[in-house]
Structure 1
Amino acid sequence: MRAWRIRVTGVVQGVGFRPHVYRLAKKYGLRGYVQNLGGSEVEIWVEGEETLLRSFLEDLKLKTPRSAELDEVVVEEVEPSGFSDFAILRSGTNITKVSMIPPDFGICDDCLREVLDPSSRWYRYPFHSCAWCGPRFSVIERIPYDRENTSMRHFPLCPDCLEEYGDPGNIRRFHIQGISCPNCGPQVYLVDGRGSPVNVKDPIVEAARLIDEGSIVAVKGIGGFHLACLATDDDVLRRLRDRKKRPRKPFAVMALDLKVAERIAVLDENAKSILSSPARPILILPRVPGSLSELVAPGLRTVGVMLAYSALHYLLLSATRDKYLVMTSGNESGEPIIKDNEEALRKLSGIADYFLMHNRRIVNRVDDSVVRFTDGETVLIRRSRGYAPKWLPLPRPVRVPALSTGAFLMNTGSIAVEKYVITTQHIGDLENLETYNFLIEALEFLKRTYGVSDCDAVPIVDKHPYYLSRRVAEELSAKCSRELVEVQHHVAHVAAAMLEAWEEDAVGIAIDGVGYGDDGQAWGGEVLRVGREGYERLGHLDYVPLPGGDRATYYPARILVGVAGEVFGCEEAAKIAEANGLENLLPGGRQELLLTLKQLGSAPKASSAGRFLDAVAAALKVSWERSYEGEPAITLEEYSWGGSLIGDSLLEREEGVVLTKDFLARLLTGEVKGHPRDLAYTVQFLLGRRLAEIALESGARKVYVAGGSAVNTVIIKGIKSVLGGENVYIPRKLPPGDNGISAGQIYYAYLVDYV
């Protein structure tokens, strides 16, 4: 007779892991217990013959529940205690090891089948879930993951659900904390724009009818509100854009199922697998012509598609005429997704005509994740529902905990504890108090969950002196007399890519918008060596002027005017600009063009890939106003589809500097010739090639590529043309853009031994 105490970490709470352990122990006739502990880990005590214990352990490692992920299994030999049976014990609060909080999971096929079965007691029940699916992170208040620690505690189980909860033979519902049914679970209801009840037999069917008639309906889902409307009606979409103050930024579309999704987007087997995965992200795909209003994604040939990921969404879509709808984040422009009913009525009443609500409280707001393909590989753009807050392991434990606050756009925060980096869900752009408070709220949840007190953690920030994200860390630094660690923006990008591979000394390419550089200028097209000794700038794009500062980032024709002014002088530049019709690309016309030239002497400069691509998009008349982050560059990439490479000399370099300013000047004078689509393709391809050549000349073989433009397929093809595809690493678990920066900040601080 032997006894083992086994501690398991990973995604092991809230995924049916304890019932699974119970059934395994019973299978092998073992005695003892399984128990959730206070660090989200699970403790197992098993007693029995050694051969049976070994078989149990083998099955434990190899036959995990569908949604579970085992990160570490630690076995300790102990003295037998003489247990007479095996039991699931009430959760404990003791923390022996930290473990992962499960993300939210899309509805499984079994639950959906029961929702659609008229003979099932869950028929048309919008909140059905089981061991394999349903909300987790969005409803948890604290660990361990038990019903009383979630917002489901307000819905006591009815006798039928209690019976299934206590039945070891019920694989999907035995000891599953989030289960419910129409008799004991949350309820859905419909109100109008003033909050007055709309009394109907089926609120979901009525909401679908209202949408089909042209209404905009705010729908409370898993992690927050969506704004739902027809995706085929120009008038409805025009109204939504006017109300939401969102002139061109693409809307996501939710489809009932894969069959419906194929009507609006081009799907291969890989796309189908991602769309139907438990994470159920938005996936950006080529759209089927004529399937959607052009106002869904103006100027683009792609569309962001997701599948219905809850019973509520499925029932709503199935009752509409099209079986797919625009389903965009429910928020005021620039603010976080709304999660509370009262806030939704207060802030969305000027946008939505009706509100489809429910009475289950959302604890942690979590927006939809966004994914795309870059040169055939899956890349995250926004990491949130379905992925957060899963951690990334480190090669060895940190010396002290750390807390990083990201940058400005697409913000996240991160903490490091033991040998893990845990990143928040997507926060958003830190341009208002609401988003700033959301960052604090998300970090507080992680600190509380993983037992990190304010003064335990080393505060880490972006080097930009005016980012609002710094304030969170600065307050901790002042409160606890902790040194503030600053990490340069693009170093953090490269470090985030290195983190996934546990690389400790590497060359990286950062192709990005802007970040505060060591010389006080805006960087963004960089070749960097990053490692334990710090970092070195090996090369970069040439600096281009940004006359008027931020205004040049919104109207990139200003960059073209500035380049012409620097290269040819202001008088000649005005003639060249007018010959290219640049005054027509500026809101102030010729007057703004001349003012731009006057501002040239005080203009900041940028080595930014994003600003260069914006300028090219404006010069080719593809896109000349940024109404959302990355718009001209995104439009340029799509415009270049079908373009051809026209030579290798359009974009040159001198030593470690890619001559982007020279290219723009020659483009304006007509020296650069070719079909605009070919020019668009070639300049993006050569941008990647030239940066890769600098990296290769530094002696690098494997190169880590990150930054907001690292998702650009044409640029990546250019990099791979020099280094080979197997030697180019783009982040897969973190977004390459600013959504992954907070994790990169921690990894860089870790490399140079601050933490």
Structure 2
Amino acid sequence: MTNTYLIKIKGIVQGVGFRPFVYNLAAARELRGYVLNNSEGVEIGLECSDAVARKFAEDVRRLAPPLSHIASVEITEGSAQGFTGFEIRESETRGGLTLVSPDVALCPDCRRELFDTADRRYHYPFINCTNCGPRYSIIESIPYDRRMTTMKEFAMCAECASEYKNPTDRRFHAQPDCCSVCGPGVYGFGLAGDAALNRAADAVNSGGILALKGLGGYHLICDALNETAVKRLRELKRRGEKPFAVMCADVQTLEKYRPLTDVERNIISSPQAPVLLLDWDNPPFSGSVNPMGSNVGVMTAYTPLHALLMSRLNTDFVIATSGNLRDEPICIDKTDAEQRLKHYTDNFLHHNRAIHNRVDDSVVAVAEGFPYVLRRARGFAPYPVMLPFEADRQIAGAGAHLKNGICFASGAYAFPSQYIGDLDNPETRDFYTETWVKMKHLLGIEPETVVTDLHPDYFSTRYAAETGAEVIALQHHLAHFYAVLGENGHKEDALGLILDGTGLGTDNRIWGGELFVRKDKKVTRAAHLPYILQPAMDTAAKKPVMMLVSAMKSYGLEKYADFLYGRFPGMQTALRLTEKMVETGLNSIETSSTGRLFEAAGALVSGIAENDFEAHLAIRLEYAADKTVTDYYHTEPMNPAGLFDGLFADLASGRDSSICSARFHNGFARMLTDACVIHADGIKTVALSGGVFQNMLLLKRVTTLLRQKGFTPLIHGRIPANDGCISLGQVCGYVYGDDIKL
């Protein structure tokens, strides 16, 4: 029997070639009906039998475009409409929730056309199709139609319009579709188009620094093989030892110098095209790219503009770092860029496609054979996380103070934002507010409840109070715990091993080395690292040598005082003063922070007293370790005293620092695993979160030992382990609804 059936599809189904896919599938089967976008997703109407409708829906799910993600398919019977064929209808605006596609890297087809002299888009810097190009960075509102994006300023020429309207064309309803006749253009140096691009390439080839407007903001670019240029950019950015990311033209170029594993190749050539951290001995570029070690962040030219620039350069690798002042958001428009970035360069290559949502580059490592996101931004945001339990209201997570991101949630979906940054300066706080307002508008979510950190003075906490929503506070490390549980969809009992630098505890101390137990929907704090004093409050986070003195005093290791003071010549007076602060507790606070301990150990191993950037000396400690060493320092569960005793003794005896660092890492991992064994109470799952678990050596050691003890470790993947996961964890903490007894 023939009836009219409505098939409603929710998920990432707009801006990914979904409607032409449905059209061609229906046309091939000679079905009558329609397909359209609306504010809830995609709606298909079919005049057919029940069996044909169900088979069609099944094939839509099975054969869907690669950039799509189908969350649900619902089939209902509708009223007869007497279709005469199959058509693509105009989009409709309705209530509901639509999932927005992230920005997508240049696809192989467009890359091929970009360098094809016979193609009408040859060397056009904004070539795109339904499989690639800007999405989140240009979208202003839903549904995802050109009139709702920053491309509305550009009327399509006849040829582009013909492609756009042709259901069999790769650019059918590609909203950013354009060409050199009708689309955006590049300009700079008083020139436009190819002439401006050539001048930009000349600036880089001659050792200069270029500010280039990309997909989600500006990059600062220089030749990565030019030591003078790299050092100059490092000095201008006051970068110290913090590593730069490099860019090359494509995967083939990269593999001429550094072979990739299948996993690495899949990540770097994925539609997300993130910065991928690679362990790379003797790379072909300047040692000043990463003065600390062999870890290098590499990305390919993920936009046609970057690809065109790379094709004009005399080098295979450039520095491509965020175009911003230190700790501020990335610049997104000409006026802002020329004002803020003039400190670095007077070479600017702009374009006139407006950026609505600023998005920095994402950073990914490989852990357990899978992508492990360290910074979630371009290519990932605002891709949703499916909640393990549906939210009974619209809620938001306000996030933390450092590495901030926000998260909106409705029903089964949570939408973590792009990376926002540290909320210490007015510019980043403005970006926070901007992102909140834009995401609320884009997703159509008006939070009834906002979950915040316990810390009352965080900007995010204060902002939540101004929204008019109900405000609930969740302890920082519990948010980490729930974030990794929620991301993995884990609903059962679990231990939570949460290691980071700072988070206000329920006892008004600073936590950061916590073992939680979730059993029968009750959560307790089963164990933690012993509290030691953090002298001079936040100053010790910037000067880890002060935490080193505190560790020495707190763990009864004063016998190493002369060695410690000799390790830092010229600082004896300051260190003696720190020792007095620890003895008296003056201007100090108790902390169980793991991050502070790794920084302290890093100070001891490196002989460097101060962090140049957050976690600088902890990263130094990780890079110093000889990964082949399996020996370890012995200590009691959740008590690092023995680790520091061993570290002091080995270094004082002249043992190589690479062995000492490895033993420290290995001992720390055993200490944590032993604590999990003691407090397991039959639980076999251990969730790992917190910024310390971005130490890839520690993560590997802990997960290996946990498996040996019969545990199943849960780790992050699509969401960072650092405070970038806090807003998701706040949302998940609400939907889990556990009884919390800390």
Corresponding residue for residue 460 of structure 1: 451
Q: How much has 1:42 moved relative to structure 2? A: 1.0
Pairing 1:340-359 to 2, within 5 Å after superposition: 340-359=333-352
Paired AA for residue 711 in structure 1? Q
* Range 691-700 or range 58-67, more displaced: 691-700
Q: How much has 1:169 moved relative to structure 2? A: 2.3
Q: How much has 1:415 moved relative to structure 2? A: 1.1
Paired AA for residue 668 in structure 1? F
Secondary structure of the residue aligned to 1:724 is helix
Corresponding residue for residue 667 of structure 2: 686
Secondary structure of the residue aligned to 1:519 is coil
Pairing 1:705-744 to 2, within 5 Å after superposition: 705-724=688-707, 727-744=712-729
| Alpha-carbon distance between aligned partners in 1 of 2:122 and 2:608, rounded to the nearest angstrom | 49
Deviations 1:175-229 (A, max 9, x none): 22111011001000113xxxxx246852212211110101111010100000000
Q: How much has 1:597 moved relative to structure 2? A: 1.9
Corresponding residue for residue 3 of structure 1: 4
Corresponding residue for residue 179 of structure 1: 177
Give the superposed CA RMSD. Answer: 2.1
| Alpha-carbon distance between aligned partners in 1 of 2:322 and 2:651, rounded to the nearest angstrom | 45
Paired AA for residue 108 in structure 2? D
User: Do the aligned partners of 2:98 and 2:142 also contact (CA within 8 Å) in 1?
Assistant: no
Paired AA for residue 528 in structure 1? F
Corresponding residue for residue 392 of structure 2: 399
1:497 aligns with 2:484: yes
**Structure-2 change in CA distance of 1:729 and 1:87 (3 Å):** same
| Alpha-carbon distance between aligned partners in 2 of 1:501 and 1:271, rounded to the nearest angstrom | 22
1:486 aligns with 2:490: no
Secondary structure of the residue aligned to 1:620 is helix
| Alpha-carbon distance between aligned partners in 2 of 1:208 and 1:510, rounded to the nearest angstrom | 46
Corresponding residue for residue 25 of structure 2: 24
**Structure-2 change in CA distance of 1:245 and 1:46 (3 Å):** same
| Alpha-carbon distance between aligned partners in 1 of 2:63 and 2:359, rounded to the nearest angstrom | 30
Q: How much has 1:697 moved relative to structure 2? A: 2.2
Pairing 1:45-194 to 2, within 5 Å after superposition: 45-95=45-95, 97-170=96-169, 172-191=170-189
Corresponding residue for residue 329 of structure 1: 322
**Structure-2 change in CA distance of 1:517 and 1:162 (3 Å):** same
User: Do the aligned partners of 2:647 and 2:664 also contact (CA within 8 Å) in 1?
Assistant: no
Paired AA for residue 460 in structure 1? V
Corresponding residue for residue 568 of structure 2: 582
Paired AA for residue 291 in structure 1? P
Paired AA for residue 325 in structure 2? E
User: Do the aligned partners of 1:284 and 1:303 also contact (CA within 8 Å) in 2?
Assistant: yes
**Structure-2 change in CA distance of 1:665 and 1:474 (3 Å):** farther
Secondary structure of the residue aligned to 2:514 is strand
Corresponding residue for residue 611 of structure 2: 626
Pairing 1:239-254 to 2, within 5 Å after superposition: 239-254=232-247
User: Do the aligned partners of 2:564 and 2:604 also contact (CA within 8 Å) in 1?
Assistant: no
Deviations 1:457-491 (A, max 9, x none): 21111112322221211212xx35x2x21111111
Paired AA for residue 23 in structure 1? N
Deviations 1:312-351 (A, max 9, x none): 0001011111122000000010011111111001111111
Corresponding residue for residue 664 of structure 1: 644
**Structure-2 change in CA distance of 1:51 and 1:659 (3 Å):** closer
Among residues 233, 236, 239, which one is paired with 2:229 in the alignment? 236
| Alpha-carbon distance between aligned partners in 1 of 2:283 and 2:299, rounded to the nearest angstrom | 19
**Structure-2 change in CA distance of 1:374 and 1:562 (3 Å):** same
Pairing 1:298-309 to 2, within 5 Å after superposition: 298-309=291-302
Q: How much has 1:434 moved relative to structure 2? A: 1.2
Structure 2: gaps of 5 or more residues = none
Deviations 1:419-467 (A, max 9, x none): 11111111011111111121121122221123223xx421111112322
Among residues 211, 221, 234, which one is paired with 2:214 in the alignment? 221
1:518 aligns with 2:516: no
1:677 aligns with 2:658: yes
Secondary structure of the residue aligned to 1:240 is helix
Corresponding residue for residue 558 of structure 1: 546
User: Do the aligned partners of 2:690 and 2:721 also contact (CA within 8 Å) in 1?
Assistant: yes
| Alpha-carbon distance between aligned partners in 2 of 1:568 and 1:412, rounded to the nearest angstrom | 40
* Range 695-704 or range 659-668, more displaced: 659-668
User: Do the aligned partners of 1:3 and 1:46 also contact (CA within 8 Å) in 2?
Assistant: yes
| Alpha-carbon distance between aligned partners in 2 of 1:712 and 1:422, rounded to the nearest angstrom | 26
User: Do the aligned partners of 1:224 and 1:367 also contact (CA within 8 Å) in 2?
Assistant: yes
Corresponding residue for residue 38 of structure 2: 37
1:536 aligns with 2:499: no
User: Do the aligned partners of 2:449 and 2:472 also contact (CA within 8 Å) in 1?
Assistant: yes
Q: How much has 1:288 moved relative to structure 2? A: 4.1
User: Do the aligned partners of 1:686 and 1:715 also contact (CA within 8 Å) in 2?
Assistant: no
**Structure-2 change in CA distance of 1:366 and 1:199 (3 Å):** closer
Secondary structure of the residue aligned to 1:430 is coil
User: Do the aligned partners of 1:412 and 1:428 also contact (CA within 8 Å) in 2?
Assistant: yes
Among residues 489, 492, 495, which one is paired with 1:507 in the alignment? 495
User: Do the aligned partners of 1:254 and 1:308 also contact (CA within 8 Å) in 2?
Assistant: yes
Secondary structure of the residue aligned to 1:416 is strand
Secondary structure of the residue aligned to 2:512 is strand
**Structure-2 change in CA distance of 1:268 and 1:308 (3 Å):** same
Secondary structure of the residue aligned to 2:247 is strand
Paired AA for residue 81 in structure 1? Q
**Structure-2 change in CA distance of 1:230 and 1:142 (3 Å):** same
| Alpha-carbon distance between aligned partners in 1 of 2:285 and 2:495, rounded to the nearest angstrom | 43
* Range 548-557 or range 657-666, more displaced: 657-666
Q: How much has 1:417 moved relative to structure 2? A: 0.7
Paired AA for residue 93 in structure 1? T
1:418 aligns with 2:414: no
Q: How much has 1:503 moved relative to structure 2? A: 2.2
Paired AA for residue 617 in structure 1? G
Q: Please, what TM-score do these two structures have when normalized by structure 1?
A: 0.93
| Alpha-carbon distance between aligned partners in 2 of 1:94 and 1:270, rounded to the nearest angstrom | 41
Q: How much has 1:638 moved relative to structure 2? A: 1.8
Among residues 434, 447, 461, which one is paired with 2:440 in the alignment? 447
Deviations 1:258-291 (A, max 9, x none): 1222355452221111100000000000124151
| Alpha-carbon distance between aligned partners in 2 of 1:753 and 1:660, rounded to the nearest angstrom | 31
**Structure-2 change in CA distance of 1:671 and 1:248 (3 Å):** closer
Q: How much has 1:737 moved relative to structure 2? A: 1.2
Secondary structure of the residue aligned to 1:45 is strand
| Alpha-carbon distance between aligned partners in 2 of 1:154 and 1:625, rounded to the nearest angstrom | 50
**Structure-2 change in CA distance of 1:575 and 1:58 (3 Å):** closer
* Range 535-544 or range 119-128, more displaced: 535-544
**Structure-2 change in CA distance of 1:662 and 1:464 (3 Å):** farther
Deviations 1:504-540 (A, max 9, x none): 3321111212211222222111111246745311112
Secondary structure of the residue aligned to 1:182 is coil
Paired AA for residue 99 in structure 1? T
Corresponding residue for residue 463 of structure 2: 472
Deviations 1:357-414 (A, max 9, x none): 1000000000000001235442110011001101111233211111111111111000
User: Do the aligned partners of 1:617 and 1:632 also contact (CA within 8 Å) in 2?
Assistant: yes
Secondary structure of the residue aligned to 1:442 is helix
Q: Please, what TM-score do these two structures have when normalized by structure 2?
A: 0.94
| Alpha-carbon distance between aligned partners in 1 of 2:285 and 2:610, rounded to the nearest angstrom | 24
Structure 1: gaps of 5 or more residues = 192-196
